[in-house]
Structure 1
Amino acid sequence: MLQKTNFAALGDLEHEHVPSHSVFGFWLYLMTDCVLFASLFAAFAVLAHQFAGGPTGKDLFDIPGVAMETAVLLLSSITYGFAMLGAHKRKSGVVLGWLAVTFVLGATFLWFELNEFSHLLAEGAGPSRSAFLSSFFTLVATHGLHVTVGLIWMVVLAVQIIIKPELSEREITRLSCLSLFWHFLDIVWICVFTFVYLGSVL
C-alpha cells in the first residue's frame, strides 16, 4: 500500500514539473533573442558615427518624448505584474482587466514609435540616408515587432480566458511565459533608450 502511495506521489510530482519544463524552454528562446539584440546593438555601436553627411542623433531625437515612451512601456510591465498576481489567485476577471490595461499601454508605446518613424521619414531621415539611421531603424523596429507579437499574444490569451474562465496550470504557464517575454522587452528598451538615444545626444 505504501509503495502504491509513493508511486502516486511520484506521478503527481512529475505532473507538477511539466509547466516548469515549458518555462525553461521559453527561457532558452529568450537567450536566442538576447543574441539577436546583442548583434543589433553591436552593429549600431560600429555604425553610430557613420552619418554620411546626414543628420545625427542630436539633430533628430526628441529625448523628452522618448522618455515618455519609455515610461509607458515600463508602466505596462507593472500592470502585467498585477495580472500575474490575479492569475496566481485564480481570478480571471482581474487578469483580464490588467491585461486590457497592459495592452493599451503597449499599443500606446507602439503609437509613439510609429509616430517617431513617420516624423523621421518626413524629414528625409529614413533608413537609407546613412549607416547610422539604417542601424537605428533596424534595432528599434525589431524591438517594435517584438512588442507587436507580444500584444497579439496577449489578445490570444485574453480570448482563451474569456472562453474558459477557470485558470488551470496550463493557462498560468502561458501567462508566465508572456510575462517573461514582456519584461525582457522592457529590459531591451532600457538599453535602447540609454545606449541609442541618450548615447547619441550626449
Structure 2
Amino acid sequence: MPEAPANPMPEPQYATMEQQADTAAFGMWVFLATEILFFGGMLLAYTWLRASYPEGVAEAGRHTRIVIGSVNTLVLLTSSFTMAWAVHAAEHEQRRALVRLLAVTALLGLLFLGLKGYEYHTEWTEHLVPGLNFHEESAHAQAIELFYFLYFLLTGIHGIHVTIGIGLIVVMAVRARRGAFSSRYYTPVEVTGLYWHFVDIVWIFLYPLIYLVGRSGP
C-alpha cells in the first residue's frame, strides 16, 4: 500500500498545510452552522406543537420506545468517544489504531440505524405512521399524529445524516489503511470527526424531546 509522504505538499491554492487544514475546518464549521439552522426550523415547529397541545404531546411521548432511545443514545455517545480517539490516533500516526477505531465507530453507527429501524417497525405495527397507517382512538389523536409527523421527519433526516457519516468514516478507514494520513496531514479525519460529533449532538437534543416528554410528573 502507498505510504503518506513524509512532507505532504498543500494544494496549489494554499501556502502551507496549516492554512489548508484551517480552511477545511472553517468550511466544515460553516456547513454545520447551516445544518443547525436546518434542524432549528423543525425544532421550532416542535416547540409550537408542544406549547399548543401539551397534553397530546405528552400522551404521544409515552408511546415512544424509551429503552431503544436510551440504548441508541449510549451507542452514539460511545461512537463519539471512539471518533475522538481516532482523531488522536491519526495525529500521532497510530495507523492500526486509527483504522480499528474508525471501523468501531462505523459499526456503532450501523447499530444505531439497526435499532432505529426496529423501532420504526414497531411503530408501523402500532399504526403510528402519519399518512400511511395512523390510527389512534385518543381524544388527542390530532396532536399525536402531528407529534409523530415531526418525529419521523426529525429522526429520519437525522438517520440520513448518520448514514452519510458512516460512509465518510468508511472512506477514512480505507484511506488510513493505505497510509494516506500522517501527523502532518490528517485533516480529512479531523473534519469527519467534526461532522460525526455534530450528528451525535443533534441526537442529544432529540432524545429528551422525543422520549422523555410526558414521562415525568403525576
Fold-level similarity (TM above 0.5): yes
Tell me what 1:4 maps to. none
SS of alignment partner, residue 201 of structure 1: coil
Q: CA RMSD in A?
A: 2.1
Tell me what 2:182 maps to. 167
Matched, 1:69 2:51: no
What are the ranges of 5 or more consecutive residues in structure 2 without an aligned counterpart? 1-13, 135-144
Separation of aligned partners in 2, 1:84 and 1:106 = 17
TM-score (norm 2): 0.79
Separation of aligned partners in 2, 1:44 and 1:105 = 28
Matched, 1:83 2:98: no
Tell me what 1:29 maps to. 31
Separation of aligned partners in 2, 1:83 and 1:98 = 5
Match of 1:188 among 181, 193, 202: 202
1:51 Cα deviation from its structure 2 partner: 9.3
Tell me what 2:49 maps to. 47
Identity of aligned residues (%): 31
TM-score (norm 1): 0.85
Are the counterparts in 1 of residues 158 and 199 from structure 2 also a CA contact under 8 Å? yes
Higher helix share: 1
What are the ranges of 5 or more consecutive residues in structure 1 without an aligned counterpart? 1-12
Separation of aligned partners in 2, 1:165 and 1:177 = 15
How many residue pairs get matched? 186
Counterpart amino acid of residue 43 in structure 1: A
Tell me what 1:5 maps to. none
Are the counterparts in 2 of residues 161 and 167 from structure 1 also a CA contact under 8 Å? no
1:19 Cα deviation from its structure 2 partner: 1.0
Are the counterparts in 2 of residues 30 and 181 from structure 1 also a CA contact under 8 Å? yes
Are the counterparts in 2 of residues 82 and 98 from structure 1 also a CA contact under 8 Å? yes
Counterpart amino acid of residue 48 in structure 2: V
Are the counterparts in 1 of residues 68 and 119 from structure 2 also a CA contact under 8 Å? no
